[in-house]
C-alpha cells in the first residue's frame, strides 16, 4: 500500500518536529511543505527539497494537510484554498480557530489536532464521557504569567527554548492560554466564567480544580479556565461528576470521595501527537475539535501601553503593544480579535488596559477580516432572537 502523502503549512518549531517524527512512520510521508520564506533562506530545514512557495503544488501532492503556521491571516487564506480543493485539514493553530475557524465549519473537513492543550482536552473529554463522567471544568495549567513582559527577557527565553520571540511573548503575557481556552469553550460546549478567565493561583491541580468546579456548579454550566501553578508539569485536566452509584468504586480507584473527580493528563507533546489525529482522520474518526458554527467566546485585543494615533501594530499575538483576553462576543460587538490585529494603524489614543475596537484602528482587508465580520454578524443576530 502506498504511503499517505502529508502536506505541511509552516516551517516553525511544530513543522520541523512533525517532519522528523513522520520519518519514523512508513505508511505516512511528507510530500510538500508550504513556506512564505525564500527557499534558499531555509538551508537547515529538514527535507529542504520538499519546500514550496506554491499552494497549488502543495495541493497536488497531498492527501491531507497539516496547517501549523500559527498565523491567522495566512492560515485562513491557505485553508480556504485547501477546503476548496476538498482536502482534509488538520491544524495546530488555535489562533486560526478562535478567529475565523467558525467560518469554515460547514465548508469542508478541518479539525484541531491532539498535542496542544485544546486537542488534548478534547480527547480527554471523549474518554471521560465514554466512562459516564459529566464534565464541569475543562482546565489548563500555566506555570508563569506576566501581562507586560520585557523585550530582553523574552529574547533570552526565545533563544533558550529555540522558539520565536512572538510565541514566547504570547505564552508569557497570557494571550496563548486565553486563545486555547476560548477554543475549548466554543468547541466543547462550555463557557467562560468571566472576561479574561479566572486563572486561579494554586499549589496543586486537585485543590484549584475543586475551586473551579464549585464556580461551574454555581454558574450552572461547564466552564473553560486555567490554574496558575508555578513549576507544574504541562498539564490539562477535567473536573467532572459521576452517578452516585459509582461513588465507592471511584473512591477505590483513588479519585477521592466525590462529588467532583479530577481527570488529568500530565503532558501534551505537540507534533508527536498530531500523528494520532492524522490517523484518526484517515480511519474515518471524524472531527476532534473545531470552534463551532456559532461561537460564544472570542479573544479581544487589550492595550498593554498607551497607543497613539499613527502607531503601527505589526502583529497582535506576541506583541509588546497588546495582549489577548477572552470575552463573550455578544457583549463586545465591534472588538478587534487579536488574531486579526496585523499591520494595523492606530487612529485614536488607546489607554493601557482598554479593549480595542475597529473604530480605533485601520486594518488591511483580508479574507480573515471578511470571515470575522460574517461570524460576528451571525452572533449578533442570534443574540437578538
- Per residue in 87-99, pLDDT (tens digit) is 999 999 999 999 9
List Cα–Cα distances, 101 to 72, 249, 295, 375, in angstroms: 9, 41, 10, 9
Average pLDDT over residues 221-240: 95
Q: Is the confidence at residue 28, as pLDDT, over 70?
A: yes
Average pLDDT over residues 32-47: 90
Average pLDDT over residues 34-58: 92
Distance separating the N- and C-terminal Cα atoms of the chain: 53
Average pLDDT over residues 156-176: 93
Residue 162: per-residue pLDDT: 85
pLDDT above 70 covers a percentage of the chain that reads 99
- Per residue in 191-212, pLDDT (tens digit) is 999 999 999 999 999 999 999 9
Which H or E element spans position 347? none
Average pLDDT over residues 134-158: 96
pLDDT band for position 240 (50/70/90)? Answer: very high
pLDDT band for position 163 (50/70/90)? Answer: confident
Yes or no: say if 6 and 30 are a contact pair by the CB < 8 Å rule: yes
CA 289 to chain centre: 10
Q: List the one residue out of 131, 234, 228, 139 whose CA is nearest residue 188.
A: 139
∠ Cα 261 299 313 (to 5°): 145
List Cα–Cα distances, 311 to 2, 316, 352, 357, 360, in angstroms: 53, 13, 14, 15, 11
| Backbone dihedral angles phi then psi of residue 374, each to the nearest 5 degrees | -70, -40
Q: List the one residue out of 230, 252, 238 whose CA is nearest residue 209.
A: 238
Average pLDDT over residues 223-245: 95
pLDDT band for position 234 (50/70/90)? Answer: confident
Residue 372: per-residue pLDDT: 98
Yes or no: say if 311 and 362 are a contact pair by the CB < 8 Å rule: no
Residue 347: per-residue pLDDT: 98
- Dist. CA 39–CA 295, nearest whole Å: 38
Q: Is the confidence at residue 243, as pLDDT, over 80?
A: yes
Q: Is the confidence at residue 23, as pLDDT, over 70?
A: yes
Yes or no: say if 193 and 106 are a contact pair by the CB < 8 Å rule: no
User: Residue ranges of the alpha helices (H) in 23-115?
Assistant: 55-60, 72-84, 94-100
Cβ neighbors of 212 (< 8 A, separation 6 or more) are 136, 137, 139, 198, 200, 223, 225, 227, 239
The label of the residue with cell 466564567 reads 193
- Per residue in 254-299, pLDDT (tens digit) is 999 999 999 999 989 999 999 999 999 999 999 999 999 999 999 9
- Dist. CA 73–CA 371, nearest whole Å: 10
Q: List the one residue out of 193, 259, 197 whose CA is nearest residue 221.
A: 193
Which domains can be identified in the chain, with CATH numbers? 4-115+271-282 (3.40.50.720), 117-265 (no CATH), 297-384 (3.90.1210.10)
Q: List the one residue out of 204, 189, 180, 158 whose CA is nearest residue 270.
A: 180
Cβ neighbors of 309 (< 8 A, separation 6 or more) are 346, 347, 348, 349
- Per residue in 331-385, pLDDT (tens digit) is 999 999 999 999 999 999 999 999 999 999 999 999 999 999 999 999 999 877 6
298, three cell numbers = 472570542
Residue 232: per-residue pLDDT: 86
Cβ neighbors of 192 (< 8 A, separation 6 or more) are 181, 182, 185, 223, 224, 225, 297, 326, 327, 328
Cα R_g (the chain), whole angstroms: 21
Amino acid at each position: 500500500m502506498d504511503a499517505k502523502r502529508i502536506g505541511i503549512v509552516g516551517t516553525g518549531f511544530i513543522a520541523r518536529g512533525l517532519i522528523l517524527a513522520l520519518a519514523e512512520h512508513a505508511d505516512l510521508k511528507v510530500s510538500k511543505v508550504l513556506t512564505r520564506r525564500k527557499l534558499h533562506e531555509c538551508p537547515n530545514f529538514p527535507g529542504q527539497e520538499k519546500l514550496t512557495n506554491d499552494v497549488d503544488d502543495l495541493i497536488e501532492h497531498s492527501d491531507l494537510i497539516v496547517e501549523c503556521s500559527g498565523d491567522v491571516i495566512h492560515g485562513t487564506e491557505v485553508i480556504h484554498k485547501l477546503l476548496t480543493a476538498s482536502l482534509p485539514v488538520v491544524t495546530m493553530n488555535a489562533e486560526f480557530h478562535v478567529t475565523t475557524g467558525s467560518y469554515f465549519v460547514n465548508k469542508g473537513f478541518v479539525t484541531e489536532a491532539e498535542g496542544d492543550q485544546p486537542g488534548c482536552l478534547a480527547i480527554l473529554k471523549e474518554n471521560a464521557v465514554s466512562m459516564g463522567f459529566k464534565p464541569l471544568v475543562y482546565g489548563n495549567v500555566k506555570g508563569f504569567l506576566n501581562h507586560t513582559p520585557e523585550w530582553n527577557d523574552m529574547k533570552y527565553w526565545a533563544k533558550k527554548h529555540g522558539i520565536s520571540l512572538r510565541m514566547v511573548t504570547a505564552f508569557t503575557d497570557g494571550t496563548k492560554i486565553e486563545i486555547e481556552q476560548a477554543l475549548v469553550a466554543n468547541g466543547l460546549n462550555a463557557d467562560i466564567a468571566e472576561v479574561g478567565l479566572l486563572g486561579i493561583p494554586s499549589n496543586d491541580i486537585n485543590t484549584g480544580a475543586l475551586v473551579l468546579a464549585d464556580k461551574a456548579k454555581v454558574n450552572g454550566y461547564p466552564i473553560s479556565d486555567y490554574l496558575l501553578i508555578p513549576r507544574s508539569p504541562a498539564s490539562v485536566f477535567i473536573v467532572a461528576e459521576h452517578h452516585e452509584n459509582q461513588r465507592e468504586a471511584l473512591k477505590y480507584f483513588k479519585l477521592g470521595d466525590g462529588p467532583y473527580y479530577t481527570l488529568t493528563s500530565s503532558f501534551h507533546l505537540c507534533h508527536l501527537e498530531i500523528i494520532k489525529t492524522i490517523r484518526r482522520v484517515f480511519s474515518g474518526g471524524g472531527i476532534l475539535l473545531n470552534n463551532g458554527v456559532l461561537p460564544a467566546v472570542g479573544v479581544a485585543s487589550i492595550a498593554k501601553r498607551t497607543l497613539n494615533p499613527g502607531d503601527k501594530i505589526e502583529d497582535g499575538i506576541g506583541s509588546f503593544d497588546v495582549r489577548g483576553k477572552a470575552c463573550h462576543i455578544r457583549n463586545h460587538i465591534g472588538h478587534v480579535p487579536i488574531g486579526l490585529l496585523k499591520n494595523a494603524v492606530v487612529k485614536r489614543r488607546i489607554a493601557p488596559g482598554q479593549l480595542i475596537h475597529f473604530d480605533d484602528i485601520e486594518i488591511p482587508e483580508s479574507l480573515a477580516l471578511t470571515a470575522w465580520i460574517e461570524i460576528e454578524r451571525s452572533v449578533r443576530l442570534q443574540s437578538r432572537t
